[in-house]
Amino acid sequence: MNTTVFTSRSTMRLSIALRWVGYSVLVGCLGCSRTPVAELAAKLTDADHDVRYEAAKKLEEYGPEAAEAAPALAAALSDPVSKVRYRSAKALSKIGIGASAAAEELAAALQKPTIQPKTRYYIVKTLANIDDAAIVALPELIATLQKKEDVKTRYFAAKALGKIGPEAQTAVGALEQARKDSDRKLRKAATEALVKVRRS
């Protein structure tokens, strides 16, 4: 791996780890403030999977205001119940840049062959929302773009690679291929991403 890219990824991992600590402190103090978001985040570990599902579903409604629940939602991506994983991924996609603390978990989730297509879609969409923090999922994003799966998922993979920018040099081949896709929106996203990746 290119030394510069490796260093950048290591730096980004440290940055994300620090964000994790910040969010963990917030979640660790759930009993202090007991805001609505904190209450819902706490329910994501409830023994009843229906309670966990409803909590994730309600967190969607908070959008960016649910950022403090990002670590709990990230952990829920490994929930044994598929519908909880789906709702957690969807809730994370609504948070925006505040979901960057979940980057490692998002990347890990994409590595699981059993993840459902609709859940994969929201995971990749979330990665497209967290700017260059998505670099930790670079290999997974490239693989997603190259797969013959839902074009909307591939579209957001291209968007995410563009957000990573010059550090995503290894994605050039996959993006070039995506520029030839039959879907107009995917071609456009790949073309725009290539401009950002090739920017010095």
CA dihedral of 59, 60, 64, 67, whole degrees rounded to 10: 40
pTM: 0.83
Task: Assign residue 158 the CATH number of its domain.
Answer: 1.25.10.10
101, 72 Cβ separation under 8 angstroms = no
What's the pLDDT tens digit per position in 146-193?
998 799 999 999 999 999 999 999 999 999 999 999 999 999 999 999
CB 122 within 8 Å of CB 92: yes
The first and second tokens of residue 76, run together, are 């829920």
Spatial distance between the Cα atoms of 63 and 163, rounded to a whole number of angstroms: 20
Instruction: Give the Cα separation of 99 and 101 in Å (integer).
Output: 5
**In total, how many domains does the chain have?**
1
Determine the Cα–Cα distance for residues 125 and 22; give it in Å rounded to an integer. Answer: 23
Over residues 17-75, the pLDDT tens digits come to 545 545 444 444 444 557 999 999 999 999 999 999 999 999 999 999 999 999 999 99
> In terms of residue numbers, what domain contains 184?
3-197
